[in-house]
Amino acid sequence: QVQVVQSGPEVKKPGASVKVSCKTSGYTFTSFGISWVRQAPGHGLEWMGWISPYNDNTNYSQKVQGRVTMTTDTSTTTIYMELRSLTSDDTAIYYCGRNRCFGGNCYVDSWGQGTLVTVSS
């Protein structure tokens, strides 16, 4: 069965970077993209971007463009999301999820458990 397992919680200082991993299994890694979505405490869901493990194409939201990099490691079927220049506004649970697509229209069908990133001095 499809499994998506994320790395553990992180505590970072303002200005630092964080790199969250998303280990996938149970399906053909290069056949499905991965999205990243975050949720600030008590708030809703915010899409950050996605990556295609097939060709490493990425799309990032305007809000995090320039601070985020998503990468893949096909040998370990793992996806990484690095966010730089952290501020307290980046404190959130970060979720990765597998994209199911019809042409270019994709939604998430399997989610990781989430990774809490806390930014605090």
Where along the sequence are the contacts to other proteins (CB under 8 A)?
35, 37, 44-47, 59, 61-62, 95, 97, 100, 102, 105-114
Question: Which helix or strand (DSSP H or E) is residue 93 part of?
Answer: strand 92-102
> Cβ 15 to other proteins, closest distance in Å?
28
Residues 50 and 102: their CA atoms lie apart, in Å, by 15
> Cβ 97 to other proteins, closest distance in Å?
8
> Cβ 21 to other proteins, closest distance in Å?
16
> Cβ 14 to other proteins, closest distance in Å?
26
Q: In terms of Cα–Cα distance, which of 14, 23, 24, 10 is closest to 94?
A: 10
What single string gives the DSSP state of each residue in 12-67? E-TT--EEEEEEEESS-GGGS-EEEEEE-TT---EEEEEE-TTT--EEE-TTTTTT
Q: Which is nearer to other proteins, 53 or 97 (CB)?
A: 97
Q: Which is nearer to other proteins, 19 or 43 (CB)?
A: 43
Q: Which is nearer to other proteins, 75 or 105 (CB)?
A: 105
